[in-house]
Structure 1
Amino acid sequence: MNREAIDALLDKLSAPSAGQPDPRTQAIVGRIVRDLFYTIEDFDVTPSEFWSALNYVAEAGPEMGLIAAGLGFEHFLDVRLDEAEAKLGLEGGTPRTIEGPLYVAGAPEADGHARLDNGESPGETLLMQGRVLGDDGQPVPGALVEVWHANHLGNYSYFDSTQPPFHLRASIRADADGRYSFRSVVPVGYSVPPAGKTQQLLDRLGRHGHRPAHIHFFVSAPGHRKLTTQINIDGDPYLWDDFAFATREGLVPDVKRQPQHNGNAFGIDGAFAQIEFDFHLLPEHASAPAAEIERLRAAA
């Protein structure tokens, strides 16, 4: 079919037949359908290929969050938010990066300091601490730091039934000086499920599904834009080759190995890894797009 014939068909298909359409929904869906029609025509997609693709999407179900990250959609949305903020003069904060699909709402809240592991988790002891600061460099007292990461097998509690509830997850209320800290174990990198739909697609694209070791954060406080970010563990072989495109400059802090005596204030017995990291929040702005993203999330 030529473009004129396709456009005539699209006009017919998009004509309202019952009630008044929502203009934005109509425009976006129309654009998506048009682009897919053009794609089918340009690549001579067969009916079998079309239905195979549709079946793939239906079967992917729970992995759609991984697929969105792996195809770069989450990173693309982050870059668009960066651009929108920069146009309003909102710059200089901690870089945002992807949330991923493994957050669980409701982690217990601790004041100032939390222990994420249960004392039985294999791995190197980790102490991470720092401050939450505003764009003026002043502390943000009472900021909420939500943190979550994988265990030594690359699995997350709630999604992995062998782990206790909220294992390696916490909500930490920063103190009057904006300080937060937590004790945990150094996470490891992991891969998408090897027999899953995400890896199936990545194989067809000639891409791997590995993520470097990382720790996720939400940081929020009244009057400031919510920060969604993660830090990556320096030295990981996939540090700058993340299948989800989440590694960004400014999110790879130094990991310092410390002797026993430096950790006594946190009850650490023996050597440990230490990360110092300050979060810098941007002020809220009435004209900026929402930093609080609405999406389906798990809740325990």
Structure 2
Amino acid sequence: MSKKIVDELIKQIESKQGAVPDERIQAIVNRIVKDLFYTIEEFDVTPSEFWTALNFLGTGANEYGLMAAGLGFERLLDIRMDEAEAKAGLSPNATPRTIEGPLYVAGAPESVGFARLCNDDEIGEPLVMEGQVFADDGVTPLKNALVEVWHANHLGNYSYFDSSQEAFNLRRSIRTDENGRYCFQSVMPLGYSVPPNGATEAVLKTLGRHGTRPAHIHFFVTADGHRKLTTQINIDGDPFLWDDFAFATREGLVPPVSKVTDQAEAAKYQLKGEFSHITFDFVLHADKQDVITTDITRVRAAA
């Protein structure tokens, strides 16, 4: 088929469109349709191939969040946000952002200064992570900032999505104290892979790629007068640290992990033996007009 015939069909489709409530959406959808038409023509996609792909997307709808990360879309959106902030002259000192992923759950229990993310019988090496939240000068501590934290258990599963875990296990919200400090006690997370035999795994295997993530801990950090930070830290030493299928590892987000054996230090956190310790500070951008918002609209779970 000639490009002329494809162009004529596209023109015919667009000529049927009248007044619309959102011209931006109209333009974006028209562009997506046009690009897919050209892809079908260039690769001589058969009807069976087309409907197989469409049916696959339907059956894998519950993994769209994973596929968006695995195919690099979420990372691309972060790159565009970074460039927009740099162009607007925002401070380069802020903590790097990285992807949210699809497993946040709103409503985690809130405390001030300190939180325990799990019970004593949680499987895994005890972990204490602490630090401060600062304004973009890196000096002024932000009192009453909200640090939301969530991570997987030793099997790579997240509470709410895994019914075997208690509600909000390994999820908490911590208000910083008067010195901008936060602290939590949990267990060291492990890396994990996308669901076996799922849609995301099928797509990645087709592309010759793996679906494994390094061990990591997610954060939302918010404070009045500042831009919301979506980020995560990765655990140093993980074999997939710089080979994350979701492209989320960034310089500045791999803090050192130390081993603490002092019993007096353990007792401070109500622990009885050796534990791992991470210190990590968050630095937030100040609010600024006319810069794309960091409060992203997307479907999220709530318990």
Q: Report the counterpart of residue 45 of structure 1 in structure 2.
A: 45
Counting only pairs closer than 5 Å after superposition, residues 68-87 of structure 1 correspond to structure 2 as 68-87=68-87
Residue 275 of structure 2 aligns with which residue? 272
Secondary structure in 2 matching 1:193: coil
The offset of 1:17, in angstroms, is: 4.9
Change (3 A) 1:6 1:206: same
Report how far residue 268 of structure 1 moved. Answer: 1.5
1:31 and 2:16 matched = no
Cα distance in 1 for partners of 2:230, 2:266 equals 28
Unaligned regions of 5+ residues in structure 1, if any?
none
Secondary structure of the structure 1 residue equivalent to 2:111: strand
Contact 2:20/2:26, CA 8 A, preserved across alignment = no
Contact 2:93 2:137 in 1 (8 A): no
Give the distance between the partners of 1:139 and 1:15, measured in 2 at CA. 57
What amino acid is aligned across from residue 26 of structure 2 in structure 1?
Answer: Q
CA deviation after TM superposition for structure 1 residue 21, in Å: 5.2
Q: Distance in 2 between matches of 1:299 and 1:113?
A: 23
- How far 1:26 moved relative to its partner? 1.1
Shift of 1:15: 2.3
TM-superposed deviation, 1:263 = 2.7
What's the Cα RMSD here?
Answer: 1.0
CA distance in 2, matches of 1:19, 1:268: 65
SS of 1:206's equivalent in the other structure is: coil
Q: Secondary structure at the match of 2:13?
A: helix
Count matched residues: 300
Q: Which amino acid aligns with 2:53?
A: A
Of 243, 258, 269, the match for 1:256: 258
Match among 163, 172, 181 for residue 174 of structure 2:
172
Cα distance in 1 for partners of 2:88, 2:136 equals 14
How big is the shift at 1:111?
A: 0.6
The answer to whether residue 8 in structure 2 is matched with residue 8 in structure 1 is yes
Q: TM-score, normalised by structure 2?
A: 0.97
Partner of 2:185: 183
Cα distance in 2, alignment partners of residues 71 and 207 from structure 1: 10
Q: Are residues 1:286 and 2:289 paired?
A: yes
Distance in 2 between residues matched to 1:214 and 1:206, nearest whole Å: 24
Matched with 1:224 is 226
Match of 1:109 in 2: 110
SS across alignment from 1:180: strand
Tell me how far 1:114 sits from its aligned partner.
0.1
For residue 134 of structure 1, what is the aligned residue in structure 2?
135
CA–CA distance in structure 2, aligned partners of residues 178 and 16 of structure 1: 57
Distance in 2 (CA, whole Å) between partners of 1:183 and 1:20 is 52
Deviates more, 1:164-173 or 1:259-268: 259-268
Cα distance in 2 between the residues matched to 1:282 and 1:84? 13
SS at match of 1:181: strand
In the alignment, which residue of structure 2 is the partner of 1:64?
64
Deviating beyond 4 angstroms after TM superposition, the runs of 4 or more aligned structure 1 residues are none
Offset of 1:99 from its aligned partner?
Answer: 0.3
SS at match of 2:83: helix
> What residue is the counterpart of 2:159 in the other structure?
157
Aligned to 2:249: 247
Within 2, Cα distance between the matches of 1:88 and 1:231?
Answer: 26
Query: 1:87 is aligned with what amino acid?
Result: K
- Match of residue 205 from structure 1: 207
CA contact (8 A) 2:133 2:284 kept: yes
Percent identity for Structure 1 against Structure 2: 62
Q: Distance in 1 between matches of 2:132 and 2:176?
A: 8
Structure 1 residue 154, shift from structure 2 partner: 0.5
